[in-house]
Amino acid sequence: MAKDQDQFSRKLDWNLLKVFHEIVQAKGITRAADVVSRKQPALSLALRRLEVHIGTLLCKRGAGGFDLTSEGAAVADACNHVMEVVRELPNLVAEASGQTRGRLRMHLISNLVCPALDDAITAFHQKFPKIELLVTVVPWAQVINALLRDEIDIGVGPSRTLRAELNYQLLFTEVHRPYCGPSHPLFGTMVDDPRRLRPEAFILTGADEPDELTDFRVRNGLGTHVAGMTEFLEEARRLTMLGVGLCFLPEGYAAPDVAAGRLWPLLPSAGAPRMDVFIIENPNASRRLAGSKFREELLKRSVPISLNRHRSE
């Protein structure tokens, strides 16, 4: 078997894999011809040569459109890995010469205050100053979706249900407390029972509100009176400081304003909702050098845990 595999790889024209990859990415020979600036008959011939070499039909093409066979899907997946290795070659060569380059693609939830994350970014940049950091702030659900689509290397955010396709490592636990501004009648007071805040009007953060916080609010009857709504914590914080209403904010995010007298927490930290924030990655995604190196820095600073919560199938 090993001898047959060696013979197969020696006789294979590797350029055929590249052509097949382009056809699959373009979802058809005609569109692929435009992308690679080659004539359609040349691509059709290359596809046929690859099918003959492998010994099976890789795609169905005709009036019904372009569709991969099960064998074609397997070859397409292998081509993705081959292309990713080829794309990483300049970075691997640069690393060997001490000049690591590349891009780190990361999605974060908004306004994270996490010294461990800051330390990891600082250490990573000092070790690999030529790697470009592409950081995007998105709602937590989009972090998961981007990882599943292999659009990013690392995600940092909460996740109530741990998906079986992804790997999770606890980074830190974020506490959310209800705050008011200096002009609010409750400024300077502390309540021991969150249900005492039921009559108060709240500023809600819409789709960006963590599930744990939503559950806490609903369980205690908070937020039935809405003073305002925004998906941006910066604006929720502004409205709170202006006395428009109460708002749940991350404790670390609100801390500077509390110290300056612009915000006041109304619940003790121990009684407030808590949200686990994870380092999340897709183990089945393309492996990239920058992502692997940054993950190492994050894991040095993460919290060792056993994830025994329910995983979705």
How would you class 24 by CB atoms within 10 Å of its CB: exposed for 0-12, middle for 13-18, buried for 19 or more?
A: buried
How high is the pLDDT of residue 312?
Answer: 45
Q: 2-94: which CATH architecture?
A: Orthogonal Bundle (1.10)
Which residues does the chain have with pLDDT short of 50?
A: 306-313
For the chain, give the longest Cα–Cα distance. 82
pLDDT tens for residues 105-153?
Answer: 999 988 889 999 999 999 999 988 888 899 998 877 788 888 888 888 8
CA pair distance 177, 289, nearest whole angstrom? 39
How high is the pLDDT of residue 308?
Answer: 45
How high is the pLDDT of residue 84?
Answer: 76
Q: What is the pTM of this model?
A: 0.64
How high is the pLDDT of residue 123?
Answer: 92
How high is the pLDDT of residue 98?
Answer: 54
DSSP code string of 197-227: GTTS-EEE-GGGS-HHHHHHHHHHT-SSSEE
- Top-level CATH class of 100-313? alpha beta
- CATH 3.40.190.290 residue ranges for the chain: 100-313
- Token pair, residue 170, equals 């606890």
CA pair distance 171, 284, nearest whole angstrom? 21
- CATH 1.10.10.10 residue ranges for the chain: 2-94
